[in-house]
Amino acid sequence: MGGVGARGVLLAAALGMVAAAPASVSAKGGARLKLEAGGSGLRGGAPISASSTSVTLANSLWNLTCSEGELKGRVDTNLAAKDTVDPITGGVFQGGGNAGLCASTFEFVVSFTPVRTPELLLDRNGHAVLRYARLSLVPTVDVGKPEIEDEACNVVANGLKGTFPVSEAPQPLLVTFTGAKTHMETIRGAECGIEAPPLLTGSFAFVSHGSPVYAVLATRR
């Protein structure tokens, strides 16, 4: 996801809370994670995107929900112990509130402003980690003010942990985050709050070349 700004909130959708399906002992010992689309394995460099229909990011002071979201990137490796979507090159998150914004307590305008080029790590045990993502939330009343950067609530996810189902039979790639912990940068506006960091809940469904992406444990040959 390069440093492309986009209105909205992070990347999840409440498509259902999906727990990772545990791989068998024999599969873990002799199989690797493989991503497929359209009946064939995805090669390094293949385009991939994740869509969402609802994201919840909240602490005790405010909450934010986005009804439309998309992240785009490219597959870095395939048929390996760890697969990655690296780089993630852009994101758009919006909808659910006034004027196309995400619905939120303070009518936040949200931009996707990564700490560095983000990546999504996937492993054969059904674990996912999103690294280097950051959201800047600015109340609409502060948009355009010179001090806008100081007034933003910058929510950072350097290691957002999720799960996805995977087995020897292909499973639709659906990464779910449930109450995943984020943290806020020190410089922030009064609306951000000083209590516990915001938690993120939701899911991503993946496609490549217009076809659903599947995760499968492939036997080494």
SS3 136: strand
Per-residue pLDDT of the chain (221 residues; tens, 9 = 90+): 333 333 322 332 222 222 223 333 334 556 788 899 998 998 888 999 999 998 889 988 889 999 988 888 998 864 454 556 667 887 778 888 888 899 998 888 888 888 888 888 899 899 999 999 888 888 888 887 775 555 788 888 889 999 999 999 999 999 999 999 998 887 667 778 766 789 999 899 999 999 999 999 987 65
**Residue with the two structure tokens 């993120």:** 200
**Residue with the two structure tokens 């922030």:** 188
Output Rg (C-alpha) for the chain, integer angstroms: 18
Residue closest to 143 by CA, chosen among 99, 176, 197: 99
The DSSP call for residue 42 is P
How far, CA to CA in Å, does 104 sit from each of 53, 58, 169, 200? 15, 9, 40, 14
Model pLDDT, residue 110:
85
Model pLDDT, residue 66:
93
| Beta-carbon contacts of residue 171 (< 8 Å; ≥ 6 apart) | 21, 164, 165, 214, 215, 216
Residue closest to 197 by CA, chosen among 163, 138, 164, 155: 155
The DSSP call for residue 169 is S
Residue type, 49: S
Residue closest to 196 by CA, chosen among 43, 61, 33, 7: 61
Domain map (residue ranges) of the chain: 25-219
Residue closest to 71 by CA, chosen among 44, 45, 47: 47
Model pLDDT, residue 11:
32
